[in-house]
């Protein structure tokens, strides 16, 4: 369904997998379309997977009908060249979202929430770390119309 909702990501072949203990992982296949000129998974494909993973893990804990999220910042730290299927994963707890997002929104129009995503290849190598900051606000506080 996500490939229809977010057609930009369709060619990458990302696969979203809920984690048993909560959280989301996004698998990036080692396909030709995802590779760069030195045959590693392209940095932008990894960053896109980190963004998708982070956003979905936050939405897993928040009602998208109640809150709007916009990415404010994406920072990537690359550590190892991805030459295999790579998995981005993140698992914020319900308590973390409650303390850092829901409660502060009772007194503020919006909050920034920063989430960390770890990307590892199928051999377990730490490929990259993504740090994504989201602006979260209730739809009732949004001033622009869709």
Three-state secondary structure call for residue 47: helix
Confidence class for position 102, pLDDT limits 50, 70, 90: very high
Tokens describing residue 48: 């896109």
Please report the pLDDT score of residue 143 as a whole number: 84
Residues 6+ apart with CB under 8 A from 23: 57, 60, 89, 90, 91, 92
CA atoms of 22 and 14, how far apart (whole Å):
19
Question: Does residue 130 register a pLDDT over 80?
Answer: yes
pTM for the full predicted model:
0.89
Please report the pLDDT score of residue 11 as a whole number: 64
> So where are the chain's domains?
2-141
Instruction: State how far the alpha carbon of 61 is from the alpha carbons of 54, 90, 123, in Å.
Output: 11, 12, 30
CA atoms of 61 and 41, how far apart (whole Å):
30
The predicted-structure confidence for 9-27, as pLDDT tens digits, reads as follows: 656 668 888 898 889 999 9
CATH number of 2-141: 3.10.129.10
The predicted-structure confidence for 55-64, as pLDDT tens digits, reads as follows: 999 999 999 9
Instruction: State how far the alpha carbon of 23 is from the alpha carbons of 10, 19, 57, 82, 116, in Å.
Output: 22, 5, 5, 22, 12
Please report the pLDDT score of residue 15 as a whole number: 86
**Do 105 and 139 form a contact (C-beta atoms < 8 A)?**
no
CA atoms of 136 and 102, how far apart (whole Å):
9
Please report the pLDDT score of residue 77 as a whole number: 98
The predicted-structure confidence for 34-73, as pLDDT tens digits, reads as follows: 889 999 999 999 999 999 999 999 999 999 999 999 999 9
């Amino acid at each position: 369904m996500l490939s229809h909702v977010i057609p930009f990501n369709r060619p990458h072949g990302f696969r979203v997998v809920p984690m048993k203990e909560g959280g989301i992982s996004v698998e990036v296949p080692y396909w030709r379309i995802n590779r760069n000129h030195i045959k590693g998974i392209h940095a932008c494909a990894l960053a896109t997977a980190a963004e998708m993973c982070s956003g979905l893990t936050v939405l897993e804990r928040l009602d998208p009908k109640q809150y709007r999220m916009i990415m404010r910042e994406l920072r990537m730290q690359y550590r190892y060249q991805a030459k295999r299927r790579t998995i981005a994963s993140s698992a914020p707890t319900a308590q973390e979202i409650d303390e850092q997002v829901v409660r502060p929104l009772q007194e503020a129009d919006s909050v920034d929430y920063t989430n960390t995503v770890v990307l590892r290849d199928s051999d377990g190598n730490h490929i990259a770390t993504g740090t994504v900051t989201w602006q979260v606000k209730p739809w009732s506080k949004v001033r622009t119309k869709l």
